[in-house]
Structure 1
C-alpha cells in the first residue's frame, strides 16, 4: 500500500488519540520475551497492573540474535517464555497467548501471516474503545496486521519501545533494524503512534544484580527467577561483576501506559525512517508522540512493589 492510500486520521482526531488515556485501557502486549531479560519484567508488570490495563492478549514477536537460530525460533522461544512467566506468577484467568510472525516483512504490501496479526485485527475491530498495542520487540506482527487490514488504524494506538530519541544520530537499534519494512510502515501508515525511545529515555532504567537480589530474590518464585536470569544470562559476556548495570528497556512502555507523568511526552510530526536507519523530517506529515524523559525511581518503586506482592 502506498503512502497516499493509507486511511487518514485528521489532525484533531490524531491529537485526541495521542492524549494519555483516562481510565482502564484495552491492551495487547507484543513481545520477544526470550530475547534477553527485560521483556519478562514488562510482561509481569502489565499482568500486575489490572487497575489500568485490561490485557486482552499477549503475542509472541520474532527475534534473531545469539538466543535464537532464526526469527521463527526466536518467536517460538518467546511464546514458551510468555507461558513460563504466567506459570511462575500463577496467573488466574490469564490472557490468551498467540504465536506471531515466523519471518520479517519484505515490503509494506506483504504482511506476514500469523495468529498474532489476526488477533490484533479482531480486537481492534471488536469494540468502539481503542485498542492499545504495546510493542516491545520487532514490530512485524503489528505492521502485518495494519498491512492486512488498514482500517484498524482508526481504532488503535501503537505504543512502541523501538527507536532511539528523534535527535539520536542513528535508529539502527535492535527492535527497529530487525525489520526495516515493518518499522518504516509504522511511521508511514499514519497509525496513532507513541514512541518510547531506547537511547535517550528507556536507557535511564538501569538496575543491577545487587538491586534485583535485594528487592526480589527469595520473595517469590518469579523474583528468584528474575535474579537467576540476571546472574545467568550475562556471565558469558563478563558483565556479571561489580559495577555492571543492566537496562530494563521494555519496562518503559508499560510505565507510559500506567502514568504519563512518570514518562512525559511531546507531540511531533512523524519522521521518515530511511533505509540507512536515519530520520528525515517533513512538517507536512501526521503527528506522533515521543517520550522525552522517564522517572527511573518512581517506575522501579511501583514495579518492585507489585512484584513483591506475588505469593511466595
Structure 2
C-alpha cells in the first residue's frame, strides 16, 4: 500500500477514535451495612442508594440489635420497590436498648431465611478485590467480625464510607463539643480495628451529617405517590410516633450521598484514634481517614430530592405476610 494511503487510513482511524462516543463509567460496586429500623435516616439512605445509577448494589446487610428483623425490613423495602434481586444478609445479632421504631412495618413483611453478612462480604471482596465499597451506616460490629475472620481479605476493600464519629462537634447545636457518636460508641473495639486496618476510610461524622429533612421537604415527599415514597411516608410516621420527633435528621444520607457524589461533602485528611468510650480523636500522625467536616447541603439536596420524587419504581409482588407475627 502506498505511503500516502497508509497515512490517510491512520488519520481516519484516529479521527474515528477521537469522535467515538465516550463510554459511561461502570457503576461502583457497593454493599450497604445498616441498622435500619431505629432512626429513620437509614431508610432514606437505602432509598437514595436504590435510586442512584452511579452505584451497583451487590447486597444490603443488617447490623446491630435484631438483625433478623432488620433483614426482614430490608426485604420488604426491596420487594415494595421491585428490587428484590439484591442480596440481603443478616449480621451479628446483639443486645440493644434502642427502640426499633419501624418494627410494625418490618414485621408485616414476608419472613425469609438470610445468609451470613460476614461471609457474604468477604466472598464479595475475594471476587472483586480492590473494587468494592462498603457503605457502613450502623455500629461497626459486622466490620470488626470480618476483620477478625479474615483481615487480609478485608484489606482488599476499595474503601469504607462511614457515617460515624464526632471530631469537633457533638449532637445538636453547631457549637456542641465532640462526644461519643452512636455508631462508634456501640462497639468501640470494632471501630478501633477498622481505623487500624489500613483500608481507605471516608468518614462522615456528626460535624457534617446533622442536616434536617424539614417541613417543606416532607411536604414535597408527601405530594408524590410511588412505591418508594409511600413506603417512606409510613416509615416516617412510625418513627415520628415512636420518637415524638417530627423532623428527621439525615445522618446516614450524607454518607450515602458522598458514596454517590463526592462533591456533596469535601474531605480533609486526618489521623483518627478511637478510644474505649467511642470518642474519635484527631491526633498527630499520618492520615488514616478522609473526614468531611463541613457538607455542601445544597449539593446534597439537589442529589436527593429528585431521586426520591421522580424515581418510578414498580413493585409487582406480594410483599406483606398474610398474618403479622
The TM-score range, normalised by the shorter chain, is 0.7 to 0.9
- Tell me, which stretches of 5 or more residues in structure 2 are unaligned? 1-24, 96-114, 171-176, 315-325
1:30 aligns with 2:33: yes
Q: What TM-score comes out, normalization by structure 1 length? A: 0.77
CA shift, 1:277, in A, is: 2.9
1:234 aligns with 2:226: no
Q: For 1:220-257, what per-residue CA distance to the aligned partner results, in whole angstroms no more than 9, with x for missing partners?
A: 132123223333322354433xxxx3211111111111
Q: Which residue does the alignment assign to 1:292? A: 293
1:96 and 1:223 map into 2 onto residues whose CA distance is: 22
Q: Which residue does the alignment assign to 1:139? A: 140
**SS at 1:159 equivalent:** strand
Distance of aligned partners of 1:83 and 1:259 in 2 relative to their CA distance in 1, 3 Å threshold:
same
Instruction: Give the one of 251, 262, 278 matched to 1:249.
Output: 251
1:184 aligns with 2:192: yes
- Tell me, which stretches of 5 or more residues in structure 1 are unaligned? 1-21, 63-70, 105-113
Instruction: Give the one of 189, 201, 208 matched to 1:201.
Output: 208
Q: Which is higher, the Rg of structure 1 or of structure 2?
A: 2
CA shift, 1:218, in A, is: 3.7
Contact kept, 8 Å, 2:137 with 2:162, in 1: the verdict is: yes
Contact kept, 8 Å, 1:143 with 1:182, in 2: the verdict is: yes
Q: What TM-score comes out, normalization by structure 2 length? A: 0.74
How do residues 268-307 of structure 1 correspond to structure 2 at under 5 angstroms?
268-269=270-271, 271-285=272-286, 287-307=288-308
1:174 aligns with 2:182: yes
CA shift, 1:297, in A, is: 2.4
**SS at 2:39 equivalent:** coil
CA shift, 1:215, in A, is: 3.0
1:124 and 1:220 map into 2 onto residues whose CA distance is: 34
Q: Which residue does the alignment assign to 1:4? A: none
Q: Which residue does the alignment assign to 1:213? A: 219
1:116 aligns with 2:117: yes
CA shift, 1:292, in A, is: 2.2
1:280 and 1:237 map into 2 onto residues whose CA distance is: 30
Instruction: Give the one of 102, 106, 109 matched to 2:93.
Output: 102
Matched pairs, number:
263
Contact kept, 8 Å, 1:217 with 1:227, in 2: the verdict is: no
1:223 aligns with 2:214: no
Q: Which residue does the alignment assign to 2:111? A: none
Distance of aligned partners of 1:290 and 1:224 in 2 relative to their CA distance in 1, 3 Å threshold:
same
1:86 aligns with 2:78: yes
Contact kept, 8 Å, 1:209 with 1:227, in 2: the verdict is: no
Contact kept, 8 Å, 2:268 with 2:290, in 1: the verdict is: yes
Q: For 1:15-73, what per-residue CA distance to the aligned partner results, in whole angstroms no more than 9, with x for missing partners?
A: xxxxxxx75211110011112211111111111112x21111111111xxxxxxxx2x2
Q: How large is the Cα RMSD of the aligned pairs?
A: 2.3
**SS at 1:117 equivalent:** helix
2:43 and 2:93 map into 1 onto residues whose CA distance is: 21
Q: For 1:2-27, what per-residue CA distance to the aligned partner results, in whole angstroms no more than 9, with x for missing partners?
A: xxxxxxxxxxxxxxxxxxxx752111
1:60 and 1:229 map into 2 onto residues whose CA distance is: 17
